[in-house]
Amino acid sequence: MSDPRIVTIRKSATKEEQIRFPFLFINPQFGYSVDTILKKIHSAPDIHLGKFPDTFPYTIDEYFWIKEGVQGKQPWIALGKLKGGIYFLYTAHMISPTNTFVKNGYMHLWVSIRFSDIIHFAMDLSTYSLYLSETSNIY
């Protein structure tokens, strides 16, 4: 049985401040460098460091969807496009509702030159369902 997902770009109204908190911790001194949070999409073409903006999140060109997280309960999620035409999905979750991300959570970043790779291979079913319910193709 196949999973017929919609691979056209859908958007919602976004507020960048909803994703800023976890972005503050993307720094090697906090244990979250881009290299450590980057997850491979095996079917996606390799993105070489010369092209891949390893300065994430500072190279975000456009957000399609942002889901604000709740410490210890719900993850932060951001979907969009980086400068250079690379699509990304970023998730961050704090295990405990107290403190910060330092030794208290995890982050993941998937990137691809094909938006369909993000939809098919980076999004689990619950994230995809949430994405569909909170976005539209009207934008």
Each residue's pLDDT tens digit, 86-98: 999 999 999 999 8
0.85 cut: is pTM over it?
yes
pLDDT digits over 22-73, tens only? Answer: 999 999 999 999 989 999 887 766 665 444 546 899 999 999 999 999 999 9
pLDDT tens digits for range 106-129: 999 999 999 999 999 999 999 999
Assign 3-class secondary structure to the chain: CCCCCCCCCCECCCCHHHCHHHHCCCCHHHCCCHHHHEECCCCCCCCCCCCCCCCCCCCEEEEEEEECCECCCECEEEEEEECCCEEEEEEEEECCCCCCCCCCEEEEEEEECCHHHHHHHHCCHHHHHHHHHHCECCC
